[in-house]
Amino acid sequence: MSERDKSAATIRIAMLGAGTVGTSVAQLLARHQHDLAHRVGAGLELVGVGVRDIGKPRVGIDESLITSDLESVVHSGADILIEVMGGIEPARSLILSAMQSGSSVITANKALMAQDGAALYQAAEQYGVDLYFEAAVAGAIPLIRPLRESLAGDRVTKVMGIVNGTTNFMLTKMDEEGADYDEVFDQANALGYLEADPALDVDGIDAAAKAAILAELAFHTRVTLADVYCEGIGEVTKADIQAAREMGFVIKLLAIAELVADTGEEDGIVVRVHPAMIPLHHPLANVRGSFNAVFIHAEAGGEMMFYGRGAGGDPTASAVLGDVVAAARHRVLGGRGPGESTYSGLQVLDIGRAETRYYVNLDVQDRPGVLAAIANAFAANGVSIQVVRQDGHGVEAGLVVRTHSGSESALRATVDQLRSMDEVRQVLGVMRVEGEE
């Protein structure tokens, strides 16, 4: 511990929410009391826990601290308010109210940060308090702090991550066990991995909220959930996964934010969530089950990856407590954490401006000239073909094409044209390809 200031009074902590994460936070605060006091330079004391349902049993939290009077918790004069109740309201109003009362806020609320982060940042600024949210993205993995602070002297060009453990669990099962979508959905459900509204997971909405948060930090540009292009995993079939595997790829639900520059059009960023094929040798390919990982490319720093547990009570609580220590140290030693940084004000561009590659699987006529006609369709849209593989012939004739990098709009136009061609009986599958140079 620093010798700087041992005179500090106790740091008082209030908490909203006492579910899995809140319970872990309370338990860790108690268990690591001694360590935390040394690391902060003052003791930490939990002074109130607000819950919606007072009747639920809570293990490891002093009953006398629990109340359903959320306002009283917010106005308890705590140095730090931890918000782990989730949802937009009343979390939003309670946080703003706590900041007004002078509390620093630690939140794990990705939906709120992605939807209305600006209002929270502004209040933190106005009332001179800290706002930390490491737990909102990728659970225990230190990611927000590295992006906001460690990479603050560099220029990030791309962030690409597996940030939803449930869908990664499902895709991993489909890949490793050859299960189909409905089976793995049921398994995930039975294991309690799915959100109350499963669409948040499988439609990519949870991942999109995290993508918005990461994009804002990486590019110093305000990004909200509404700016994120989003496709879920509902259309991914066992056949897609097998085809990918045969070509040396694996399918992952990726959250991607990247700089699109020097294309002759206006610079900006594209933020998107969709399933994509990535090569088996890519660091993200080995991220299995419910693990999360985020790959970052920075101009000077080069490629880096952060890997770990993206969810669960203890991992999320670990991230919350790291932020608690930071905010508490500011109470003891002075100083403030970083505020909102949106000075770049880049355009958030349409998905059409993204640069990607396509994999296209076609059921084609078996007659001379078909390959030439199809190659022409790609060329007409300015899309360059990297690999063509022809399978079978006669009524079974199939053609698999992987393209070089092109704009999403050109790739889409190509697929539309393919769909309209006599030579193409059916477009069997289309998937974006990421992680190849």
Residues at the interface with a second copy (CB under 8 A)? 1-4, 24, 28, 32, 35-36, 38-39, 125, 134, 140-142, 145-146, 149-155, 220, 281, 283, 286, 298-309, 312, 314-315, 317-326, 329-330, 333-336, 338-341, 343-344
Q: Which is nearer to a second copy, 149 or 246 (by Cβ)? A: 149
Strands 11-16 vs 385-391: parallel, antiparallel or unpaired? unpaired
70 vs 320 by CB, closer to a second copy:
320
Whole-angstrom distance, CA of residue 240 vs CA of residue 169? 17
DSSP state of 348: B
Minimal distance in Å, beta carbon 271 to a second copy?
20
Check: CB of residue 401 under 8 Å from CB of residue 385.
yes
Q: How far apart are the first and last CA of the chain?
A: 46
Q: Which is nearer to a second copy, 6 or 419 (CB)?
A: 6
Q: Which of 153, 162, 112, 119 is nearest to 136 (CA)?
A: 112
- Region label for 27, one of left (φ > 0), alpha (ψ between -120 and 50) or beta (otherwise): alpha
Q: How far apart are CA 37 and CA 328, in angstroms?
A: 10
Which residue is catalytic, options 173, 210, 238, 252? 210
| Nearer of residues 176 and 235 to a second copy, judged by Cβ | 176
Decide if 56 is catalytic: no
b (16+ CB within 10 A) / e for 416-429: ebbeebebbeeebb
Are 383 and 411 in contact, with CB atoms under 8 Å apart?
yes
Shortest Å, Cβ 297 to a second copy: 10
* Cα–Cα distance for residue pair 248/233, rounded to 1 Å: 20
Nearer residue to a second copy within complex by CB, 134 or 408: 134
Tokens matching residue 373: 């006609």
Please answer whether residues 342 and 216 qualify as being in contact, where contact means their C-beta atoms are separated by less than 8 angstroms: yes
Please state the closest distance from residue 101 (CB atom) to a second copy, in A: 20
* Closest separation in Å from C-beta 15 to a second copy: 14
Pick 10 or 341: Cβ nearer a second copy: 341
At closest approach, how far in Å is the CB of 323 from a second copy?
A: 8
- Residue 156 beta carbon to a second copy: minimum distance, rounded to whole angstroms: 10
* Pair 73, 67: CB distance under 8 Å: yes
Give the closest residue to 423 by CA, choosing from 360, 379, 368, 361: 368
Annotated active-site positions, please? 210
